Amino acid sequence: MKIAIIALAAGTLALAGCNERVGGPGVSTYYDCGDGTRLKVDNLEGDRILVQMNDNPPVTLPAEKAASGAKYMSATHQFWSKGDEATWTVGRMMPMTCKQVIMPRGM
Work out the pLDDT band at 27, boundaries 50, 70, 90. Answer: confident
Q: Is 95 a member of any domain? A: yes
- pLDDT band at 104; cut points 50, 70, 90: low
Q: How many domains does the chain have?
A: 1
Listed in sequence order, the residues at least 6 apart from 98 whose beta carbon sits closer than 8 Å to its beta carbon are 31, 32, 33, 34, 37, 39, 85, 86, 87, 88
What pLDDT shows up at residue 103? 78
Domain that holds residue 27: 22-101
| 84 occurs within a structural domain | yes
Distance of CA 4 to the CA centre of its chain: 36
Question: In this structure, is residue 1 part of a structural domain?
Answer: no
- Whether residue 10 is contained in a domain is answered as no
32 domain residue, yes or no: yes
Q: Is the pTM of this model over 0.75?
A: no
**Exposed, middle or buried, 49 (CB in 10 Å: 0-12/13-18/19+)?**
buried
Q: Domain for residue 12, yes or no? A: no
Q: Residue 93 is part of a domain; what is its CATH number?
A: 2.40.128.200
Arithmetic mean of pLDDT, 1-25? 43
User: Do 40 and 30 form a contact (C-beta atoms < 8 A)?
Assistant: yes
Each residue's pLDDT tens digit, 40-75? 999 999 999 999 999 999 999 999 999 999 999 999
